[in-house]
Structure 1
Amino acid sequence: MERLIQADGQPQYGIFAAPPELINYRDFAFRSPMGRRLGALAKWRRFHQFQYFGLISEQLIGGCALANLSLAGIGFVYLFHPPSGRMIERQFKLPLGFGTRFSQRPDDGLCELRSGRNLLRLENFPSPKEKRLLVELDDGTRIDACFSEVEPVFQPMCISTPAAVNGWVYAQKVAGVRCSGEVRSPLGDFDLQRIDAFAHHDWSAGYMRPETHWNWACLSGLAAGQRVGLNLSCGVNETSYTENCYWLDGQLIKVDTVHFAFDRAQPLRPWRISSHDGQVSLEFEARGLHQERLNLGILASNFKQIFGQFHGVLRPPGREAVPIDNLWGFVEDQYVKW
């Protein structure tokens, strides 16, 4: 598919075997809930985009995100060292996105944030099909990590869904892929291939609900001799279709709707995550979290990304169950108004 928005100004909806080449949101026939045609200013104001790259291993956990919220450009990066419990993190908020740039090509583009001597960059390459994270901070921290969706072959989750009465969301998810590169930081120096690191990735954009909330879970690692990745959500991207799935050795297996049971006031207490079709039954034990709060009236966010370990079972149809034994990953509890 070359473009997500069709000639009639409407997006294509569904789960796709391959991503669109371009999220051509400027061609969207955007209308108010009462049917009034909206112009370029409204299209700019309501279009939001974010990209996330996560690192998972027993020696190092990391996450980096960039978000274009029209009125602000936002980025964060953190690293957590499980053996010692030490963590470093940085956050950046740039008015009107000055110092940022965002490509609307999920598999062929560059998104970055620059603030002083700090750089957060996410690059997507079409040939070979790779994703790369580059972080350079003014304290000397440097992350250079990448993964491939070609060798071995990997099937990403590519989904487009309606959102509220007049919007839509395109999301592209990857989990359960091996990661290479290096990290230099106050926590130590790490060769990502040597510590058997895995990666996951999220590329999302569209006209999302003006006020929304979601929970999300992701894990990556080895289980029962297979590369396992998991991507589950509740509250977003589930109008007509859902993004819920897991991967076994790169093969995507679809999952029905899921339920997250947890204590919002105490998010470091155990979480339970289960799917309606019985394929997923997991518990999550938290080991730490990255959190942010922002309240500017017209923009607000209460964001908690918690990292820890999963245990439980996956039950793929027609195959042996896959035990999940203390695999590292993430859960998320997010409220946002934009």
Structure 2
Amino acid sequence: MSPDLKPAPDTVVLDGRPAHGRYAGRIARMDWSALDPRPGWLWRRLHHKRWHYVGLGNAAVFIGVAIVDVGWASSAFAYLFDRESRRLLADWRQDGLPGLQAHVGDAPLAGAHAWFRGPGARLSLRHEAGDRLHLNVTTSALRVKAELDLAAMAPPLLAIGPIAGGLAHATQKTSALPVRGWAEAGGRSFDLDTAWAAVDASNGLLARDTAWRWASAHRPGIGFNLQQGYFGGQENVLWLDGQPIALGAAQFDFDATRPLSPWRVATDDGLLDLVFTPEGARDADKHLGFAASRYVQPIGCFNGMVNGKAVTDLLGVTEDHRSRW
């Protein structure tokens, strides 16, 4: 374990205050109810945001699935990117009512339960016996049944930190998880038994306007998570040979008007310096008057230097995201 990452605490709130820091290990729940003073009901309804995201891929495909509860609304998306043809075979999304059509629980891994139900759509991520997460997606465009194995995973990152314009945020992120399962899209079937997955479980009291750049890539022996934006460098971490290492501030050098051109992603401590070459992307723009979001998530490979050693063809994603929520 990195000396910069302490063992994860039992709770995100200690003595009435957020337990700010970067940690290694699981936390049972991300529950803000012990805050003192506790924000009022209306403020919490407008600012409490929770989501579960799973990204998984192999030589043939990359799949991204998210279930999101923003307090006053919910949404979900699921896509499948065919790496051979370099196009999206499925790109589904839907909005819904929180509590009625969607739920994102406070448990990030053990005990995790997130679901979305809408017209023609059923999505769920649920922890079940054997320390496995079961991912199920049924939509008109995409079907996924996958099992993610938590039993032998590297210690996950837990990051807790302050939020300008909000209050606090917590996120639990894993590196490469073995996958068993299958997916169907565009009249084709894909075997996922050679895929590797990463889980992002996030829960925070955030600002109305939130923006970030993000990068995530994983395979056995190496993985990383980087963010530049609303959460500072709190969630920047590198996994090497099963051990998490805290990283410095991340820099993203890219052309926002041409997200399929190469990106350079580096950290100011010199431990990571990579070029990301996109193969394709998922993007979405929503404008609801009182709320809006702009999102692009390119899929591709990272090449460069990590901890003084060359890394080639590391599959992952970058992201440029702005939300008024």
Give the TM-score taking structure 2 as reference length.
0.90
8 Å CA contact retained: 1:229, 1:247: yes
Which residue does the alignment assign to 2:172?
A: 172
8 Å CA contact retained: 2:179, 2:196: yes
Which residue does the alignment assign to 2:219?
A: 221
Deviation at 1:48, TM superposition (A): 0.6
RMSD, aligned CA:
1.9
The aligned runs of 1:103-122 (5 Å cut-off) are: 103-107=105-109, 108-122=111-125
- Partner letter of residue 109 of structure 1? A
The 1:215/1:148 distance shift into structure 2, 3 A limit, reads same
Which residue does the alignment assign to 1:6?
A: 14
The aligned runs of 1:244-323 (5 Å cut-off) are: 244-315=236-307, 321-323=308-310
The aligned runs of 1:54-203 (5 Å cut-off) are: 54-87=55-88, 88-96=90-98, 98-107=100-109, 108-125=111-128, 128-138=130-140, 141-151=142-152, 153-164=153-164, 166-186=166-186, 188-193=188-193, 196-203=194-201
Give the TM-score taking structure 1 as reference length.
0.87
**Which secondary structure does the structure 2 equivalent of 1:242 belong to?**
coil
C-alpha separation between the residues in 1 aligned to 2:57 and 2:163?
Answer: 31
How far does the alpha carbon of each residue in 1:144-174 deviate from its partner, in whole angstroms, 9 at most, with x for none?
A: 12222322x4110111001115500001111
8 Å CA contact retained: 1:48, 1:208: yes
Gaps of 5+ in 1: 32-37, 316-320
8 Å CA contact retained: 2:26, 2:155: no
8 Å CA contact retained: 1:175, 1:218: no
8 Å CA contact retained: 1:149, 1:155: no
C-alpha separation between the residues in 2 aligned to 1:187 and 1:288?
Answer: 20
**Which secondary structure does the structure 2 equivalent of 1:138 belong to?**
coil
C-alpha separation between the residues in 1 aligned to 2:160 and 2:239?
Answer: 19
The 1:165/1:209 distance shift into structure 2, 3 A limit, reads closer
8 Å CA contact retained: 1:123, 1:131: yes
Deviation at 1:329, TM superposition (A): 0.8
- Partner letter of residue 4 of structure 1? V
How far does the alpha carbon of each residue in 1:129-158 deviate from its partner, in whole angstroms, 9 at most, with x for none?
A: 33331101235x32112222322x411011
**Is 1:231 paired with 2:229?**
no
C-alpha separation between the residues in 2 aligned to 1:185 and 1:67?
Answer: 23
- Partner letter of residue 118 of structure 1? A
How far does the alpha carbon of each residue in 1:224-260 deviate from its partner, in whole angstroms, 9 at most, with x for none?
A: xxx221111111322xx62111212321122111100
8 Å CA contact retained: 2:295, 2:321: yes
C-alpha separation between the residues in 1 aligned to 2:100 and 2:177?
Answer: 33
The 1:26/1:45 distance shift into structure 2, 3 A limit, reads farther
The 1:113/1:163 distance shift into structure 2, 3 A limit, reads same
**Is 1:15 paired with 2:22?**
yes
**Which secondary structure does the structure 1 equivalent of 2:175 belong to?**
strand
Deviation at 1:96, TM superposition (A): 4.6
Deviation at 1:187, TM superposition (A): 5.2
The 1:74/1:129 distance shift into structure 2, 3 A limit, reads same
Which residue does the alignment assign to 1:324?
A: 311
How far does the alpha carbon of each residue in 1:104-130 deviate from its partner, in whole angstroms, 9 at most, with x for none?
A: 1112121110112311111135x6433
8 Å CA contact retained: 1:77, 1:89: yes
Using the aligned pairs only, state the percent identity.
26
How far does the alpha carbon of each residue in 1:295-330 deviate from its partner, in whole angstroms, 9 at most, with x for none?
A: 223321111111011111101xxxxx3322122210
8 Å CA contact retained: 2:215, 2:318: yes
- Partner letter of residue 11 of structure 2? R
8 Å CA contact retained: 1:177, 1:250: no
The 1:261/1:159 distance shift into structure 2, 3 A limit, reads same
Deviation at 1:203, TM superposition (A): 0.4
C-alpha separation between the residues in 1 aligned to 2:130 and 2:238?
Answer: 23
Gaps of 5+ in 2: 1-8
Which residue does the alignment assign to 1:35?
A: none
Equivalent pairs, count = 315
How far does the alpha carbon of each residue in 1:171-196 deviate from its partner, in whole angstroms, 9 at most, with x for none?
A: 11112233221212325222212xx2
Deviation at 1:7, TM superposition (A): 4.5
The 1:327/1:2 distance shift into structure 2, 3 A limit, reads closer
